[in-house]
Structure 1
Amino acid sequence: MSDNASEPSHRYRAIWLSDIHLGSIGCQAEYLLDFLRHNESEHLYLVGDIIDGWQLKKGWYWPQAHNDVVQKILRKARKGTNVVYVPGNHDEVIRQFNNIAFGDIHVRDEAFHTTLAGKRLWIVHGDLFDGVIQHAKWLAYLGDTAYTAILALNRWFNHVRAKFGFEYWSLSQYLKHQVKNAVNFISSFEHAMIAEARRRDCDGVVCGHIHKAEIREIDGTLYCNDGDWVESLSALVETLDGQLKIVYWTVMHSTKSAPAPESEALASQ
């Protein structure tokens, strides 16, 4: 697919993307590239784990689609999109460049966004509130290895589904959400993020890290997770009228006249 200005495009005030994991086999770069080609915004927030440094240390993997994603983001920044990069744990090496701009992309350890409705959102990857990452990093590396194996199975599973005409479906995410300990961890993580957002006098938080897209209010504070581009293929967006919602990009355009392929979950402003 080529970049074509005449292709249908959605326009938003802001788009949040995280957990892309460029440099890993699990990255769904083709879907993300399709999303970037059909969606424009005033602000683009990259909320951590954009590049998977952990996987690149194990072995170099960088196909053309991954390079195309980087070039597309750089092109958006050159054309006027305000692009802010908030690193996560897999691309933590970028944190040493805090407050520096690379090709019109601004690196921040955290960011803030005010919605059209006047709500102040704190933007951070979220790994600093993960006890395993902070206190048992060896266990996080071990878990990452197992996760990579599950994702390999997931790719094979969806390859078979595609042959029968079925849409993308995340086997790995389904399995994760059936495990009680994983569910408990997600709940603890969400409440920790909400507590910190309140401490910073914000109306809500936007994060990534746990690969679970969601928008909901927790004790009066807005919790937003934009998901990932490994399992859920999702982004958080703020529409031009100030509404926040999750966009799932699970079907790529086949023709210029094809309808928008997202499945949307509406959220409170």
Structure 2
Amino acid sequence: MKRLLLILSLACSSFIFSNSAFASEMNGDLTKNEVDQLKNDVGLSDELIQSIEIEEARELIEENAVLLSHVEEIITFDEFSDSIVPYGSQGGDLNAKQIKLSGDAYKVTNNNSSYKGQVKLKFVGNWEWLSAPINAYKDGFAIGWPTSEKVKLPTSNNGVDEFSADYYRWDSRLGKWYLTSSSKVPRDYEPNGGTGWIFDLRQGGSLSKGSLTQYAYTNSKTGSMNYKFTYGHAQLLLNPSLSISKGVFGVVPGNTVKVGHAAGTVTW
């Protein structure tokens, strides 16, 4: 009898564990094995794992991604002046609004037959307003690198491939982020230098965040180059522009467009 009870107990425990694991998977949580892969194979820290979306994390695993570089900056824009306020000096100025910029560069498996044998890089940039901006017009976000590096964008039909950009707003009522706009096509690009997106920063005082992903290819089996993510914040009804500025593609600063950046070096 005791033996029968033990068998039934073990069977129930196994069933509960299996269903718990299944429920966790169905709810979209990362499994322990996935977290271990992100740490040991991709090279992400616990903080980075917690900061990225579940889908993005699983995509990194599928691509056999290896993190090559991570950059992060907090920029403070003075909404009614011609300057960008140095980090840490926000003080009590209600016109100073902060945004966090971060960027990652990965080496991933190249499954694109059009670029067979080449090194494939993946650039992922993120921005998040830490305090809701006062000015809400058109803003821009871009990834760029020196064109002399011969790191090229994938193209077809006179356009850029393997690009994506998303913009989310925080819904305080529901307590979650919701997708406001997205694009698979960059607003503008430089063939050997980067891509960018212009989006409508919605009014209403809610927090906003977004991302930009661009893949690129190079014939160089090993190399090193600088890269830069730029965020342009408009103060009037004039759209930010995208172009090469100081040798790197990005959002161009102007009288009514303030630009902050997060720059790093990627070595593969």
User: What band does the TM-score fall into relative to the shorter chain?
Assistant: under 0.3
TM-score (norm 2): 0.26
TM-score (norm 1): 0.26
Higher strand share: 2
